[in-house]
Structure 1
Amino acid sequence: MAGIFDTHTHFTDERYKEEGMETKEMINDAKAVGVANFCCVGYDVESSKKSAKYAMEFDEVFCAVGIHPTEAHTINEKDISEIEILAHADKTVAIGEIGLDYYYTDEYVEVQKEIFRKQIAIALDNDLAVMLHLRDRDGSDQAYLDALEILEEMEVKRAIVHCYTRGYDLAQKFVSKGYYISIPGVVTFDNAKDLHEAVQKLTINNILVETDAPYLTPVPHRGRINTTKEIVHTVEKIAKLKNLNKDDVAEITTRNAKKIFNLQ
């Protein structure tokens, strides 16, 4: 395989620093197995600044900048202004990861929605994709449905559902709006039956691939710290589920990434 685009990774994560793992080394290891491009994603102001720095330092790296929904109740207007400034950086391709997260508590739902809208506005003003973090309590789709309502209300044309692990019907609600579904290493897990069905039924033209590294390491290395080179296992699993050649999966998902990120 060659030319894979890891659309969501976190080179800035402290776990790498704790393990003595260097970004340049991780990039080189990934390139050696066929990964060509990376989107380093922020989740607060500090990590967004670091992501923009990595994008400037490495030719193969682009960045997304934004404030994670679980941080929404802790930020102020200065933080939003910082994200707006970073949106102008040369290699910023998305505002993210932003969205709604109801998994731990629904105490800050309205605050999350407010911050979500403000960051979507930054994306629209700068012609950038919206990279979504959506998470619900088990058995609920409410965060996804609330986010979809806001995206429609604000007339968002380019959006990515990051780290999708749910079923086909929910995915199709986003695909029907022209949005992309980003598949993580979870797809390699034997028990991810709903996700397997979603991948089988979705057209490859609406699929992206990601690692969300250092999290969600795919089989056969599940349980270890994840790095972007592991994305090859995700591509191979998607190819198997869809009965496609893995090189074609790599090529098409990269073409999709370049389209959503406006890199064509």
Structure 2
Amino acid sequence: MAGIFDTHTHFNDEVYKENDFEVSEMIKEAKVNGVTHFCCVGFDIKSSKEACKYALKYPNVYAAVGIHPNDVTKFTKGDLEEIDVMANSDNVVAIGEVGLDYYYSDEHKEIQKEFFIEQIKIAQKNDLAVMMHLRDKDGSESAYLDALEILDNLNVKRAIVHCYTRGIELAKKFVKRGYLISIPGVVTFKNATSLQETVEKLSLNEIIVETDAPYLTPEPKRGKLNMSKNIAFTIEKIANIKKLNKTDVIEATTNNALKVFKLA
């Protein structure tokens, strides 16, 4: 396989340094497994700066910069000026990962919304995609529906629902607005029947792929630290679900990524 775009990975996660993994080696191994493009995603100021650094250092590595919804209480709106500055750095293609996360608590819901809105405005000002982390309590769709309301109010044209694991009906609400659904390694899990049905029913034109490495390692590597090279298992699973050739899945998802990031 060749040409896979891992649209969401974290070369900037401290766990790689703690385990003595070199970014250059991870990229090299991924390329052997057919991965040709990467988006390294920030989740706070420090990690966003690192993402920018890797995007300048390595060919076909791009960056997303932003403050994760779970971290917004650690920052002030003044810190968003740094995100705005980084948004102008070469090879930055998205503001992310930003969004709403009510999974553990909705105590800081309004602050999360404020930061989400302000970071969307930075994306629009700099003509960048919005890469969204949306997470909710089991059985609830509040974070997703609140996000849709904000996206509609701000007339957002280019957005990605990162690490989607939900059902088809909720996915349809996003794709009908032209947003992309990003499929993680979770799709390979035996109990991920809802996500597998979503993949089956969505068009290839509506999805992209990601690892969210070092998290959510796909089968059969589950239990180990995730890396970009493992996205090949996600591609294979999607091809099996949709009864398509792997090359068709790669071509479509990579073209979708290149378009949303305005690289093609």
Normalised by the length of structure 1, the TM-score is 0.99
Aligned amino acid, residue 80 of structure 2: I
Partner in structure 2 of residue 19 of structure 1:
19
The CA RMSD measured in Å over matched residues stands at 0.5
Shift of 1:155: 0.2
Number of the residue aligned with 2:94: 94
Per-residue CA shift, 1:100-148, capped at 9, x if unaligned?
0001111100000000000000000010000000000011000000001
- Residue 77 (structure 1) shift: 2.6
Q: How far apart, CA to CA, are the structure 2 residues paired with 1:31 and 1:248?
A: 18
Q: Which residue of 2 aligns with 1:168?
A: 168
Q: 1:57-76 counterparts in 2 under 5 A?
A: 57-76=57-76
Structural mapping, 1:222-233, within 5 Å: 222-233=222-233
Q: Deviations over 1:11-39 (max 9, x none)?
A: 01011011100000000000011000000
| Structure 2, gaps ≥5 residues long | none
Tell me how far 1:75 sits from its aligned partner.
0.8
CA distance in 2 between partners of 1:246 and 1:200 (Å): 14
Q: Is residue 129 of structure 1 aligned with residue 115 of structure 2?
A: no
SS at structure 1 position matched to 2:208: strand
Gaps of 5+ in 1: none
SS of 1:83's equivalent in the other structure is: helix
Aligned to 2:56: 56
Q: Which residue of 1 aligns with 2:210?
A: 210
Task: State the Cα deviation string for residues 151-205 of structure 1 (Å, max 9, x = none).
Answer: 0000000000000000000000000000000000000001000000000000000
Aligned equivalents of 2:30, 2:71: Cα separation in 1: 30
- Displacement of 1:74 in angstroms is 1.7
Partner Cα distance (2:65, 2:166) in 1: 25
Which residue of structure 1 lines up, in the alignment, with residue 140 of structure 2? Answer: 140
Amino acid aligned to 1:157: K
1:190 is matched with: 190
Aligned equivalents of 1:128, 1:118: Cα separation in 2: 13
- Supply the AA of the counterpart residue of 1:55: A
Match for residue 156 of structure 1?
156
Could you tell me how far 1:78 is from its partner in structure 2? Answer: 2.7
Q: Measure the CA separation in 2 of the matches of 1:44 and 1:79.
A: 10
Please give the alpha-carbon distance, in whole angstroms, between the structure 2 residues aligned to 1:34 and 1:251. 12
Q: Does 1:256 align with 2:256?
A: yes
Runs (4 or more) in structure 1 with deviation over 3 Å come to none
SS across alignment from 1:132: strand
**Aligned residue pairs, count:** 264
Q: What code does the residue aligned with 1:24 have?
A: S
Q: Shift of the alpha carbon at 1:79?
A: 1.2
Q: Distance in 1 between matches of 2:198 and 2:234?
A: 14
Residue 60 of structure 1 and its aligned partner are, at CA, apart by: 1.6
Query: How far apart, in 2, do the equivalents of 1:19 and 1:173 lie?
Result: 40
- TM-score, length basis structure 2: 0.99
Q: 1:21-36 alignment to 2 at 5 Å?
A: 21-36=21-36
Deviation of 1:245 (Å) = 0.3
